[in-house]
Amino acid sequence: SQTIHQWPATLVQPVGSPLSLECTVEGTSNPNLYWYRQAAGRGLQLLFYSVGIGQISSEVPQNLSASRPQDRQFILSSKKLLLSDSGFYLCATGDEPNTEAFFGQGTRLTVV
């Protein structure tokens, strides 16, 4: 079965600082990978998704970027954080295009 590792669980960063969140997946190969953000009391917003190494689709214009340097590694980055980047960031993976996704435990980011 698939295992998703996402860290850290909690992060407090000052405005203007860089960000790097990493997600790694075990137990599968060539998965679809997703980054979602959930603001307090809101739904999940799809930020990026990837169907293969180096293939990234961005869903909304924003202050963030994503990279997939290896098959089972997905990285979310920012050069300079904004207050509005605060939220619950979730990495997810799915085996096939039409199957469900499984989530990591998420990173709760607070930008101060």
Q: List residues near another protein by CB under 8 A.
A: 32, 34, 36, 42-44, 46, 49, 51, 57, 59, 88, 90, 92, 94, 97-106, 108
- Give whichever of 14 and 100 is closer to another protein, judged by the CB atom: 100
β-bridge partners, 107:
89
Compute the least distance from the CB of residue 108 to another protein, in Å.
Answer: 8
Q: Which amino acid type is present at position 91?
A: C
Cβ within 8 Å of residue 99, ≥6 positions away = none
Shortest Cβ 42–another protein spacing (Å): 7
To the nearest whole angstrom, how small is the minimum distance from the Cβ of residue 105 to another protein? 6
Alpha-helix residue ranges (DSSP H) falling in the chain: none
**Cβ distance to another protein smaller for residue 14 or 40:** 40
Distance, CA of 19 to chain centre: 12
Comparing CB distances to another protein, the nearer of 37 and 80 is 37
Environment class of 90 (CB within 10 Å of its CB; exposed 0-12, middle 13-18, buried 19+): buried
